[in-house]
Amino acid sequence: MPRPHPTWLIAPLSLVLGFAVADVTGVRPLGGIVLFLAALWCGLEWRRTRGLGVALGLVVVYLVAFGLSHPLGKAIESWPAVILVSVAVGAVVWAATARHPRAAL
């Protein structure tokens, strides 16, 4: 079985990168493409390494964090909100994947 990728790092960084792309270019759909591709790739990796249930749960966490960053951004500014939800996503993904590796099949 191939070694799993560090999605606990990739998922939160993709949230930061997606926002940065949207912020710098002024084209929000470009940031959305980054987020979509990252969520797809991470979701497929989670499915391969942890199973469908964990994959679906982590994709939901990713999407909810993205959604929460918007109202949170109105309260504490955009960048701090993105960093905060990214750290939370990284912690949840780490707890679900890296901290408890799946037993070999």
In a domain, 1, yes or no: no
| pLDDT tens string 29-87 | 999 999 999 999 999 999 999 999 999 999 999 999 999 999 999 999 999 999 999 99
CB 58 within 8 A of CB 43: yes
Candidates 79, 87, 81, 83; CA nearest to 68 is: 81
Vertex 21, ends 18 and 23: CA angle to 5°?
105
In a domain, 2, yes or no: no
- Asked if the model's pLDDT at residue 90 lies above 70, the reply is yes
In a domain, 12, yes or no: yes
Task: State how many domains the chain has.
Answer: 1
In a domain, 89, yes or no: yes
CB 35 within 8 A of CB 15: yes
Specify the pLDDT at position 98.
81
In a domain, 24, yes or no: yes
Mean pLDDT of 9-19: 97
In a domain, 105, yes or no: no
- Asked if the model's pLDDT at residue 104 lies above 90, the reply is no
In a domain, 104, yes or no: no
Q: Which domain holds residue 42?
A: 7-98
pTM of the model: 0.88
